[in-house]
Chain A
Amino acid sequence: MTAATELRAKQDRGRKVAQNREKWASVRTYVSAAVILFWCLAPAYWMVVTAFREVGYTYDTSLLPTHVTLDNFKTAFDTSFGNRFGQALLNSVFIGVTVTVISLVVGVFAAYALARLNFRFKYLVLGFILGASMFPGVALITPLFQLFTNIGWIGTYQALIIPNISFVLPLTVYTMTSFFREMPWELEEAARVDGCTQGQAFRRVIMPLAAPAIFTTAILAFISSWNEFLIASQLSNDATQPVTVAIANFAGAQPQQIPYTAIMAAGTIVTIPLVILVLIFQRKIVAGLTAGAVK
């Protein structure tokens, strides 16, 4: 064997090892991806499967759907055991929309200032707003509970909306700030040069560009208000409770028996619209969620 063929054989072997290694790496990636998919989706899948299972087969552990029924969804809306899930859904939508609109309207100005203007104390204001978003809800609940008890607001919508603003508003401000910072503001100036007035430039150029950012922020704001439980569990009553409280307190026919199938049906109703919304706007949502952490 000559030196040249020996070298080629060596190279071939090297290439094969590299190819093998790559193949293994890709197999490992797929296995890991499958594990992630299972871990994230299996519990959610189980919720949906249980939601469609007859109540007599609550503890049926066959993995595929069995004894399929829609009864649980009827039970979820049934008010005869004191559950008011339908009302709670409306409450959650009302509270969520109100909180989102107020936070966006108030926060959009602050976000514009933080993203576009230079001023003293900018860092202080940003720090304050970020600090506010990390603020523990439990520190608010005591004074608010006392205040609202004194003025008779327990069980009113405003008693739920006002505390929600405390964490949704900072969230909207800093999410929008980082969206606004990424926007091509040069276009505004370009429109001015082309003869637009400031108002026209804002309406025709900036608004359409900002709309997706504002919409994504609205989704994030709505979700965080929709998920709120701590304050609602203490400051709401049967008439104003949001879905999170209704689901946590869901009662069955017998006090000792938790009506899991109906709860899973209620959970499915609460979750599916959100999951669909999140999946449709996946890219934007992820950008909004991670805004501020890496930009």
Chain B
Amino acid sequence: MATELGPTPVKEPASGGTPIHHGPKGVGEDNAIASQGKWAAWLLAPTIVALAIVIVYPIISAIVMSFQKDAGLDPVTGLFTEGGPAGLSNYTNWIFQQCAAPGGGTVACPPGTLGSQFWSATGTTFYFTIVTVTLETILGFWMAIIMARTFRGRSLVRAAVLVPWAIPTAVTAQLWLFIFAFEGIGNKLFNTTILWTGSENPARWAVIIADTWKTTPFMALLILAGLQMIPADVYEAAKVDGASAWQRFRMITLPLVKPALMVAILFRTLDALRMFDLPYILTEGSNNTTTLSILVVNQLRQGFNSAAALSTITFIIIFIVAFIFVRFLGANVVEQQTGAGKGKK
């Protein structure tokens, strides 16, 4: 790592990382950090302010909205009612599937209403996430291992994997819709007569295949970058010691690539949990392909406040998953990012 050359040069400890956390503190260092801190505050201010406006403000406003009643026609009196405080009713509407009943109180949401779809949408979202991330991890790992080898045409393969990544998801959805058309090339090639968007399993697999096609390259490139950090002599040493290919994979590749792999899986999981474009365009959410994101969008025009409650629930679910990854599965994004993990190199 390059030696830091701030206004007052600050020597970094050899192990990497920042002196604030790891190094022994000198007297001059406090001053350096204080003056750099002032600079940093000015430099960071525009970004922090911009993100506060475009992210923090909407979150807070969504939470406030979620405790308000949606204005609308009262089902009993037929009169227009103003909103007013709703307590937790927007949340119970989704989680316990309780809809407002005529004449006050609540009843179980009748089938077909959006309120009744919360748990199925949650299930669909997790189904997509688990299946696609698993497939993408396995395929991506395999692609990365191939791309890490030296062979003629390697750069061609590395360029080719960027093609699906560069195609916009909306285009990907239309493309796979065409491939999966009844008379399309998909059925022709595999000699099947599947009505892909016509029933639950084919529809779900159409989305899964399209998503896997589109995002495996990203996974493969992240894993490849991790693989390239492993020094070749480690493998040589293991070979000399008589380790089999499988042993080398399990005892060297897997543990050494794990930090990069976990970050890749975390990124993809969070991305899959907010999946919207593909099922929205490819299957239009029919046949149990409605994800939480689609449900929020469907709710938008039927009442902001209830949609706000649902988007807050979605946000919390994603937050919990991210927390589990970072806390328990060792996906240390910040450490990777700040280079504190560099000592392991």
Chain A interface (Cβ within 8 Å of chain B)? 26, 29-30, 32-33, 36-37, 39-41, 43-44, 46-47, 50, 59, 61, 106-107, 109-110, 112-114, 116-120, 122-123, 125-132, 134-147, 162-163, 165-166, 169-170, 173-174, 177-178, 181, 184-186, 188-189, 223, 226-227, 229-230, 233-234, 243-245, 247-248, 250, 258, 260, 263-264, 267, 270-271, 274-275, 278-279, 282, 285-286, 289-290, 292-295
Contact = CB atoms under 8 A, between A and B. Distances in A.
Contact of A293 (B10, B159, B188, B225): B225
Contact of B175 (A120, A174, A267): A267
B274 A282 contact: no
Contacts of B273: 136
A213 B280 CA distance: 35
A129 B179 CA distance: 38
B169 interface: yes
Contact of B300 (A36, A141, A227): A141
A37 B151 contact: no
Contact of A247 (B53, B153, B174, B315): B174
Given A29-B149, A44-B163, A134 B270 contact: yes
Given A126-B338, A292-B336, A293-B260, A141 B169 contact: no
Interface residues of B, number: 113
A271 B166 CA distance: 7
B171 A271 contact: yes
Contacts of B42: 109
11 contacts: A40-B164, A43-B164, A61-B188, A109-B47, A113-B40, A132-B55, A139-B62, A142-B300, A143-B65, A267-B167, A270-B168
Interface stretch (B1-9, B99-107, B198-206): B1-9
Given A32-B146, A243-B168, A120 B20 contact: yes
B2 A294 contact: no
Contacts of A144: 58
Contacts, number: 330
Nearest to B209: A43
Interface string B245-284: 0000000000000011001100100110110110011000
By Cβ-Cβ distance, the 5 closest A-B pairs, closest first, are A244-B170, A113-B43, A110-B47, A290-B225, A119-B37
Contact of A134 (B40, B267, B280, B304): B267
Contact of A181 (B142, B229, B339): B339
Given A43-B175, A143-B308, A166 B54 contact: yes
Nearest to A230: B276
Contacts of A264: 174-175, 178
A185 B40 contact: no
B46 interface: yes
A29 B142 CA distance: 11
A134 B265 CA distance: 13
A116 B168 contact: no
Contacts of A163: 54
Contact of B181 (A59, A117, A123, A250): A59
Contacts of B267: 134, 293
Nearest to A164: B54
